[in-house]
């Protein structure tokens, strides 16, 4: 992966830093992930500024628009243009006027931090949206999940350089992991993945989602909003995430590492061929 994005912003920078291993000191080159202010502008109206890794921004714009309910279908994104600014990046998005008019009810302000997908929400109703129930989905063999988890780090190219970014990956029933998106923000990585899959006309009911983060509420919310039926996270879920997953029918798995995992909701989708009870 080149450190330079298509706009000249870097996804990471290299520098010389003081590294201490106990009493041993080295001056060593290291790669550090970048985060850049990105403003999403809908039909000339600025909506929100997010701190994000300056890669795959068209995917991010589409995924964010879908998971936030700004548009209902990828075809409603009529245009997208990424424009470099001196202090950040502007993503200009064209959507139908009726969709833009309805955005006034969504209550975002102009600030979103790296770590919180709900930053900028100005009402409880906007923040705690309940997606409609997901479909039946497909069963996933626990062995296939374990194999994908072992394979995933090799596909996290930016994290291999920096150790500082999250990833969201799509697990296909036949092909294994097909698409990975990375970002300093876990929810940004997920939006980028959903945008990339939506552009490819992916059926979200026929595959599974893996994320290298905790399964917080907004991760479940975004996944369920496009019909994803199973979310496996490397770290823990939150109580509100479990509640939402239970309500909308999504299978939520946490602490998914190698062959280990905890199933919090709707366990019928994860199949264990050689299960044993301790």
d(CA 114, CA 221): 17
> Which residues does residue 11 pair with via DSSP β-bridges, in sequence order?
none
Instruction: Please state, as a whole number, how many other Cβ atoms lie within 10 Å of the Cβ of residue 113.
Output: 13
- Render 196-235 in DSSP notation, one character per residue: HHHHTT--TTSSEEEESS-B-HHHHHHHHHTT--EEEESS
Which two structure tokens, joined as six digits, stand for 62? 């589409």
Q: Name the strand (E) or helix (H) holding 274.
A: none
d(CA 218, CA 245): 11
Residue 104 carries which DSSP code? G
- Examine the residue annotation and report whether 116 is marked as an active-site residue of this protein: yes
* Annotated catalytic residue within 116, 119, 202, 248: 116
Who contacts 69 (Cβ-Cβ below 8 Å, separation ≥6)? 106, 129, 225
Name which of 272, 247, 20 is nearest 141 in CA terms: 272
Residues classed as catalytic: 116
């Amino acid at each position: 992966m080149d450190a330079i994005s298509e706009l000249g912003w870097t996804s990471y920078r290299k520098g010389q830093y003081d590294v201490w291993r106990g009493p041993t000191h080295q001056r060593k080159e290291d790669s550090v992930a970048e985060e850049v202010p990105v403003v999403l502008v809908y039909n000339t109206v600025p909506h929100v500024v997010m701190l994000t890794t300056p890669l795959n921004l068209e995917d991010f714009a589409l995924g964010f628009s879908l998971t936030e309910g700004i548009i209902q279908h990828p075809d409603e994104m009529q245009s997208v243009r990424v424009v470099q600014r001196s202090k950040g990046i502007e993503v200009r998005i064209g959507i139908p006027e009726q969709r833009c008019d309805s955005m006034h009810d969504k209550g975002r302000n102009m600030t979103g931090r790296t770590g919180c997908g709900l930053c900028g929400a100005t009402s409880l109703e906007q923040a705690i949206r309940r997606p409609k129930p997901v479909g039946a989905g497909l069963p996933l063999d626990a062995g296939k999940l374990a194999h994908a988890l072992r394979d995933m780090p090799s596909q996290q190219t930016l994290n291999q350089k920096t150790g500082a970014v999250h990833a969201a990956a799509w697990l296909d029933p036949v092909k294994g992991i097909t698409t990975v998106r990375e970002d300093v923000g876990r929810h940004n990585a997920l939006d980028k993945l959903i945008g990339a899959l939506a552009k490819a006309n992916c059926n979200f009911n026929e595959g599974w989602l893996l994320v290298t983060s905790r399964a917080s509420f907004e991760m479940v919310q975004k996944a369920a909003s496009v019909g994803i039926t199973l979310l496996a996270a490397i770290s823990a879920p939150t109580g509100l995430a479990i509640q939402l997953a239970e309500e909308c029918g999504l299978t939520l798995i946490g602490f998914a590492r190698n062959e280990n995992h905890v199933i919090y909701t709707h366990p019928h989708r994860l199949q264990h061929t050689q299960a044993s009870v301790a």
